[in-house]
């Protein structure tokens, strides 16, 4: 899922400094699961903004709402009712949600309430770790399912580098060297020789090097996509 983290409150306050009525808008997708932008976080941020503005002598009216998703025009429909009612929206969705609001509601002022961090897994309560970088050209079929693009500090395609020591990464010693793990796992599977194969150069265009990434599936589209 997409992992996000609430932005510092002073930055959010600065963005909405001139307004008297705003909407704090949560999302029940990834950001709710990683406890950054669901119902509870909406309530907390809204209360924090009210308190901070009360203390500064410029009270702020804060409406609260949480949509099922903010990355889908259909689920952003209810935002229409806030047009003209609030001066700005603080979205706790990932950057996708903020961008889509900006696209669909150009007359609304929308500000991010979270920083969108990475694609990660929830390993234990309160712990998320990056597992994928969305580079668009998976090579994990060749690396025992472990991604060196996301999980190697140097994004090496032919590791481990000379710096790894005892299976630990030299950049961050608390992290395992993912290439060490790949080699060990391939060895256990009796497939180590596969790592000796020469790979085609990795295609970085799907990683964004070819501009904005778009995916269209004609088999799912009706009426030209409308």
Partner 1 sequence: MKNSFQITILCCNYTNLAEREDLASLLGKIEIKRYPCSGHIEITDILRAFKEGAKAVMVAGCSKGTCHNQKGSERAEKRVLGAKKILEEIGIEPERVEMFYVSRLDSGDFVEKAKAFYQRVLSLELKERAQ
Q: What is the CA radius of gyration of the chain?
A: 22
195 binds partner 1 (CB under 8 A): no
What distance lies between CA 78 and its chain's CA centroid? 23
Residue list 6-35, contact with partner 1 (CB under 8 A): 8-10, 13
207 binds partner 1 (CB under 8 A): no
Residue list 53-112, contact with partner 1 (CB under 8 A): 54-55
What distance lies between CA 148 and its chain's CA centroid? 19
**Closest distance between partner 1 and the C-beta of residue 59, in Å?**
10
Give the nearer residue to partner 1 in terms of CB position, either 49 or 100: 49
127 binds partner 1 (CB under 8 A): no
> Which residues does 42 contact at the CB level (< 8 Å), separation at least 6?
24, 25, 26, 64, 65, 66, 92
208 binds partner 1 (CB under 8 A): no
Give the nearer residue to partner 1 in terms of CB position, either 4 or 76: 4
51 binds partner 1 (CB under 8 A): yes
Using the rule CB under 8 A, give the single segment among 21-29, 52-60, 86-94, 95-103 that binds partner 1: 52-60
What is the DSSP-derived secondary structure letter of residue 220?
G
What is the DSSP-derived secondary structure letter of residue 11?
H
Q: Considering all CA atoms of the chain, what is the largest pairwise distance in Å, rounded to the nearest integer?
A: 69
Give the nearer residue to partner 1 in terms of CB position, either 128 or 179: 128
| Residue in 5, 19, 28, 48 binding partner 1, rule: CB under 8 A | 48
What strands lie across the sheet with 110-112, from one edge to the other? 61-67, 21-27, 88-91, 110-112
Q: What are phi and psi of 25, to 5 degrees?
A: -115, 115
What's the rounded Cα separation, in Å, for the pair 124 and 134?
Answer: 23
Other Cβ atoms closer than 10 A to 70: 28
Give the nearer residue to partner 1 in terms of CB position, either 50 or 202: 50
What's the rounded Cα separation, in Å, for the pair 54 and 57?
Answer: 5
Give the nearer residue to partner 1 in terms of CB position, either 44 or 121: 44
| Residue in 1, 43, 102, 157 binding partner 1, rule: CB under 8 A | 43
**Closest distance between partner 1 and the C-beta of residue 45, in Å?**
9
What's the rounded Cα separation, in Å, for the pair 126 and 197?
Answer: 40
Provide the binding-site residues for partner 1, judged by CB under 8 A: 8-10, 13, 40, 43-44, 47-48, 50-52, 54-55
């Amino acid at each position: 899922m997409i992992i996000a983290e609430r932005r510092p409150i002073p930055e959010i306050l600065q963005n909405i400094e001139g307004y008297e009525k705003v909407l704090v808008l949560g999302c029940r997708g990834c950001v709710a699961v990683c406890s950054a932008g669901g119902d509870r976080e909406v309530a907390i941020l809204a209360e924090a903004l009210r308190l901070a503005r009360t203390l500064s002598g410029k009270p702020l009216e804060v409406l609260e709402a949480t949509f099922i998703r903010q990355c889908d025009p259909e689920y952003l429909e209810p935002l229409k009712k806030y047009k003209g009612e609030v001066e700005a929206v603080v979205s706790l969705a990932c950057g996708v949600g903020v961008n889509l609001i900006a696209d669909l509601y150009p007359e609304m002022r929308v500000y991010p309430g979270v920083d969108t961090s990475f694609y990660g897994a929830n390993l234990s309560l309160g712990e998320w770790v990056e597992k994928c970088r969305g580079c668009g050209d998976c090579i994990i079929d060749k690396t025992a399912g472990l991604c060196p693009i996301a999980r190697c500090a140097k994004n090496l395609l032919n590791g481990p580098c000379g710096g790894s020591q005892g299976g630990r990464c030299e950049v961050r010693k608390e992290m395992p060297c993912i290439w060490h793990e790949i080699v060990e796992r391939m060895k256990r599977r009796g497939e180590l020789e596969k790592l000796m194969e020469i790979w085609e150069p990795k295609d970085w265009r799907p990683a964004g090097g070819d501009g904005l990434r778009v995916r269209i599936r004609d088999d799912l589209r009706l009426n030209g996509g409308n």
